[in-house]
Amino acid sequence: MKLRPDIEAFAQELTDWRRDIHRHPELGYKETRTSGLVAERLEAFGIEVHRGLGGTGVVGVLHGSLGDGPSVGLRADMDALPMDEAGVAEHRSTVDGVFHGCGHDGHTTMLLGAARSLAASRAFKGTVNFIFQPAEEGLAGARAMMEDGLFDRFPCDEVYGMHNWPQLELGTASIRPGPVMAASDRIEIEVKGRGAHAAMPHRGVDPIAVSAHIITALQTLVSRGTDPQDAAVVSITAVNAGSTFNVIPHTARLLGTCRTFRPGTRDRLEAEIERVAVGVAAALGATAEVTYTRGYPPTVNHPGPTGRFAQAATAFLGAGAVSDDADPSMGGEDFAFMLEEVPGSYLWLGQGGDFDLHHPQYDFNDVLLPVGASLWVELVEGPR
Note the pLDDT tens digit of each residue in 312-361: 999 999 989 999 988 899 999 999 999 999 999 999 999 999 999 999 99
- Structural domain boundaries of the chain? 5-181+298-381, 183-296
Q: Which amino acid is at 246?
A: N
At 22-78, the pLDDT tens digits run 999 999 999 999 999 999 999 999 999 999 999 999 999 999 999 999 999 999 999
Neighbours of 151 (CB within 10 A): 17
Alpha carbon distance 330, 298 (integer Å): 9
**What architecture is domain 183-296?**
2-Layer Sandwich (3.30)
How sure is the predictor about 384, in pLDDT bands with cuts at 50, 70 and 90?
A: confident
Give me the percent of the chain exceeding a pLDDT of 70. Answer: 100
Span 144-148, average pLDDT: 98
Q: Answer whether residue 383 shows pLDDT above 90.
A: no
Rounded to the nearest integer, the mean pLDDT of the chain is: 97
Tens digit of each residue's pLDDT (9 = 90 or more) over 117-133: 999 999 999 999 999 99
Residue 252 pLDDT grade (very low, low, confident, very high; cuts 50, 70, 90): very high
**Per-residue buried b or exposed e for 34-57, using 16+ beta carbons within 10 Å of the residue's own CB:** bbebbbebbeebebebbeebbbbb
pLDDT tens-digit profile of 264-313? Answer: 999 999 999 999 999 999 999 999 999 999 999 999 999 999 999 999 99
Contacts of 234 (CB under 8 A, 6+ apart): 187, 218, 219, 221, 222, 256, 257, 258, 269, 273
pLDDT of residue 271: 98
Say which residues have a Cβ less than 8 Å from residue 317's Cβ, sequence separation at least 6: 1, 171, 172, 173, 375
Collapsing DSSP states into helix, strand and coil, what is residue 33? helix
Q: For the beta carbon of residue 216, count every other beta carbon within 10 angstroms.
A: 11
Separation of alpha carbons 258 and 122, rounded Å: 44
Q: What is residue 125's predicted lDDT score, i.e. its pLDDT?
A: 97
Q: What is the pTM of this model?
A: 0.94
The CATH number that domain 5-181+298-381 falls under is: 3.40.630.10
